[in-house]
Amino acid sequence: MTDRQDEPYTAPRPGMAATPHHVPITLSARLRAYFLAGVLVVAPISITFYLAWLLLNFVDTRVTPLIPARFNPETYLPFAIPGVGLVFVVIVLTLVGMLTAGFFGRLFMRASEAVMVRTPFLRGIYGAVKQIFETVLAQKSAAFREAVLIEYPRRGIWAIGFLTGRTEGEVQDRITGEVLNVFVPTTPNPTSGFLLFVPRSDVVPLRMSVEGALKMVISGGILTPPVVDDASAGPSKELPPPAGAAAQPERM
């Protein structure tokens, strides 16, 4: 049998790629790859369960002592049940929502709001908090529902922002041209950021979802949402209509 080392070298023909030499994987490299694979599998699950456990303990330690003993299942059991406080909060909020849907509930809410509005120190806090919750939870507008691109902090550098609405009031009155409210979050903490008033022409809507944009911001660009095809994306996102724009009647 002829030894392969004695064979002359033959250059690869055009159109044929050269066969790479097989590099054996060492035991340490294989173990390192297995270790990293285990971290990628275990870390997200462990962190998720840990944060959920912290939330349950936080709610339980503050709500469980407020539950009457006859309604607390821990009174009849020899062990504690995690999540009792959270379940109690969900039940109470649901009952409050049911009560406020009736006539007497609405009457009580109007009376309570009248008291809060007439209180000098509390009316500012109550009005701001109520407006935020109505905007985010009641979905009265499209605030925080659309991801956009703007040039920030200077021309030629782009940042992901979230459209929160059309600028109104004194801010718009003092600016030439219509501007939009854009919240630009920081990385990796998207709860802090900057409120910018950007001209409408400088705001570029994105097809990616708000969740995808948040993941990209939190990860510092490591996680990139997949590109959405125009055919499967449906109608493209549009900015809010210009101020004062009236609906045009349909022609018959």
Q: Who's near 210: CB < 8 A, 6+ residues apart?
A: 144, 145, 146, 147, 162
Ranges 11-15, 38-42, 60-64, 112-116: which has the least confidence: 11-15
- pLDDT for position 219: 87
Strand (E) or helix (H) holding 113: helix 103-118
- pLDDT for position 75: 82
pLDDT digits (tens, 9 = 90+) for 182-209: 999 998 888 889 999 999 999 999 999 8
Cα angle, residue 125 at apex, residues 123 and 130 outer, rounded to 5°: 95
- pLDDT for position 239: 73
Confidence of residue 249 (pLDDT cuts 50, 70, 90): very low
Tell how many helices (H) and how many strands (E) occur in the chain: 7, 5
Identify the structural domains of the chain with CATH numbers, from first to last.
146-227 (2.30.30)
- pLDDT for position 205: 93
Task: Provide φ and ψ at 8, rounded to 5°.
Answer: -70, 155
- Averaged pLDDT of the chain: 80
pLDDT digits (tens, 9 = 90+) for 217-239: 988 888 888 887 655 555 556 67
What average pLDDT does range 107-113 have in this prediction?
Answer: 85
Q: What percent of the chain has pLDDT over 90?
A: 22
Give the global pTM: 0.53
CA distance 214 to 147: 9
Ranges 6-10, 21-25, 123-127: which has the least confidence: 6-10
- 149 has pLDDT over 90: yes
pLDDT digits (tens, 9 = 90+) for 46-95: 999 999 899 888 888 888 888 888 888 888 888 878 888 888 888 888 98
DSSP state of 190: T
Are the C-beta atoms of residues 20 and 42 closer than 8 Å to each other?
A: no
Strand (E) or helix (H) holding 57: helix 27-63
Are the C-beta atoms of residues 223 and 214 closer than 8 Å to each other?
A: no
Burial (CB < 10 A; 0-12, 13-18, 19+), residue 63, is middle
Look at the chain and count its residues: 252
Are the C-beta atoms of residues 144 and 183 closer than 8 Å to each other?
A: yes
128 compared with 94, residue with greater pLDDT: 94
Q: Who's near 100: CB < 8 A, 6+ residues apart?
A: 106, 108, 109
